[in-house]
Homo-oligomer: A and B are copies of this chain.
């Protein structure tokens, strides 16, 4: 009847997943309590808890005190995407990374940038425009605004040798961030930099990173045509 013995919490997790997929436990249905499962599997309740917590984090179970644990009606599973450095991204696909700083100056940010950075940014911001290459072909435009008050050391960085993207990742600790993915038509200047047609469909990422409640930087990454972001469920 029962197959391999239950040893660790991963075995419990696998068995729970199997029962969900086989519909032994149907969506919306309540499953046995931790104590009951612990007795059935012959392990400690803590082990069952570890397993059920993992499955719940994956979105397949809803757990509430007193109400018990139910199989999720709508398995809203979560894809986790890793946000690497641009250089690591390029080199990870076996291509050579190149980089050119186009402009770096200080000034007042446009409204949409101020808004994205919380509006509380009163000082002038450092504006950086740079182009990354993959095997000598344009890869992505990095259009970035930095709040120098949060990372004063960036004034001393040589941004012609190391990209702001990389410098910030290794020098500026952040506590959180917002990310927006979208598709945008290539503007005239973007088409020029990326060597593509005007109004070409470009994959775009807007990202703001925060140190608690103050914005560190806001960046718009505009990728050359054909770029795709892959992940797994």
Contact = CB atoms under 8 A, between A and B. Distances in A.
A182 B199 CA distance: 15
A5 interface: no
Contacts of A112: none
A95 to B, nearest CB: 18
B183 A184 contact: yes
Interface in A1-45: 17, 20-21, 23, 27
A156 interface: no
A161 B81 CA distance: 33
Interface stretch (A100-108, A142-150, A223-231): A223-231
Contacts of A180: 228-230
A29 B9 CA distance: 31
Given A20-B173, A183-B184, A77 B81 contact: no
Contacts of A204: 183
A84 B85 CA distance: 28
A34 B73 CA distance: 39
Contact of A229 (B76, B82, B182): B182
Nearest to A208: B233
Contact of A230 (B21, B77, B176, B179): B179
A177 interface: yes
Interface in A51-108: 59, 73-85, 88
A179 B21 contact: no
5 contacts: A76-B83, A78-B81, A79-B80, A177-B233, A183-B202
